[in-house]
């Protein structure tokens, strides 16, 4: 009979620009991979975003996003290294037929990006050894969006990995008319502020843990990137230390970045 793993319970509270978010978590007393922190940070991010959404609707604005509205699923979505590893772990647990469907969709997306001349640029983004600025990413984002390439995880205009979708996907909510999202170049959408940019925070956390650059990996390349960097995900950290580092990263991020 296997022994139950020992856990510790902590009550967390983080004050964000949208208000305080709290969580009660149980963490192992042992060593864990960085992927163990991903669901917790996503939960804190979603709580903060819910508070921002409440403030927005209280001001008289209405959130336009709804199920089946998938224009944003044609945008270039960045994921952090911990999210890429978590996505790889999740896909590995799926039934074989589902994994094969995802691999086919990813292969088709890669082929489309190669034909458009964007694949090499996106690979360079994923592997860049220096932080990439928004100005550097802007022409790549525009070229990607012009392709109207559906996310490889999109099925029947709905997210097939909704519970495990990247943090960036959870954070985009707009108050502008929904049809504006079909032409975001000529009709810039009005997005509500994001109190906690969890992909960025996870990227900063990974950078601190490993001494590597804060990577933001294009979602269509995330599984491939995680496979090629699998050795980096074998390191484990004391769970309480990992939690403390994650919270410290959040506080440092909030001290430098207002909601945007």
Residues facing residue 32 across a β-bridge: 237
pLDDT of residue 258: 66
Residues facing residue 31 across a β-bridge: 238
Does residue 98 have a pLDDT over 60?
yes
Q: How far is CA 33 from the centre of its chain?
A: 17
Tokens of 37: 């922190």
pLDDT tens-digit map of 159-193 = 999 999 999 999 988 888 888 878 777 778 888 89
Closest CA to 45 of 72, 65, 17: 17
Helices then strands, counting H and E runs in the chain, come out as 9, 8
Does residue 3 have a pLDDT over 50?
no
Q: What sign results for the dihedral spanned by CA atoms 85, 90, 91, 93?
A: positive
pLDDT tens-digit map of 126-161 = 998 777 777 888 999 999 999 999 999 999 888 999
**225 close to 91: Cβ distance less than 8 angstroms:** no
The residues, ordered by sequence, that sit 6+ positions from 3 with a Cβ below 8 Å of its Cβ are none
Secondary structure class of 126 (helix, strand, coil): helix
pLDDT of residue 198: 95
Q: 212 falls in which pLDDT band (50, 70, 90)?
A: confident
Single pTM value for the model: 0.92
pLDDT of residue 1: 35
Backbone Cα Rg of the chain:
19
pLDDT tens-digit map of 4-41 = 568 889 899 999 999 999 999 888 889 999 999 999 99
Query: In whole angstroms, what is the distance from residue 27 CA to residue 36 CA?
Result: 9
Does residue 260 have a pLDDT over 70?
no
Secondary structure class of 29 (helix, strand, coil): coil
pLDDT tens-digit map of 228-258 = 999 999 999 999 999 999 999 999 999 987 6
Q: 2 falls in which pLDDT band (50, 70, 90)?
A: very low
Mean pLDDT for all residues in the chain = 90
Q: How far is CA 20 from the centre of its chain?
A: 21
Does residue 99 have a pLDDT over 90?
yes
Closest CA to 46 of 169, 178, 200: 169
Query: In whole angstroms, what is the distance from residue 87 CA to residue 206 CA?
Result: 16
Average pLDDT over residues 66-74: 81
Query: In whole angstroms, what is the distance from residue 184 CA to residue 100 CA?
Result: 33
Query: In whole angstroms, what is the distance from residue 190 CA to residue 173 CA?
Result: 8
């Amino acid at each position: 009979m296997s022994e139950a793993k020992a856990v510790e319970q902590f009550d967390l509270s983080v004050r964000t620009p949208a208000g305080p978010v709290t969580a009660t978590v149980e963490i192992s007393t042992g060593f864990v991979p960085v992927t163990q922190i991903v669901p917790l940070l996503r939960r804190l991010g979603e709580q903060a975003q819910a508070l921002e959404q409440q403030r927005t609707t209280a001001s008289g604005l209405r959130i336009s996003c709804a199920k089946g509205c998938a224009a944003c699923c044609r945008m270039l979505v960045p994921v952090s290294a911990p999210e890429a590893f978590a996505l790889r772990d999740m896909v590995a647990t799926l039934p074989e037929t589902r994994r094969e469907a995802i691999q086919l969709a990813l292969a088709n997306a890669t082929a489309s990006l190669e034909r458009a001349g964007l694949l090499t640029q996106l690979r360079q983004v994923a592997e860049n050894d220096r932080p990439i600025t928004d100005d550097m990413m802007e022409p790549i984002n525009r070229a990607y969006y012009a392709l109207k390439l559906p996310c490889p995880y999109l099925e029947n205009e709905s997210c097939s990995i909704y519970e495990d979708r990247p943090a960036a996907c959870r954070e985009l909510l707009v108050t502008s008319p929904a049809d504006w999202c079909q032409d975001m170049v000529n009709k810039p959408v009005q997005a509500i502020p994001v109190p906690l940019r969890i992909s960025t925070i996870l990227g900063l956390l990974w950078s601190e843990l490993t001494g590597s650059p804060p990577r933001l990996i294009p979602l269509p390349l995330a599984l491939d990137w995680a496979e090629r960097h699998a050795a980096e995900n074998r390191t484990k950290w004391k769970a309480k230390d990992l939690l403390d580092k994650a919270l410290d990263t959040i506080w440092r991020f909030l001290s430098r970045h207002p909601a945007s």
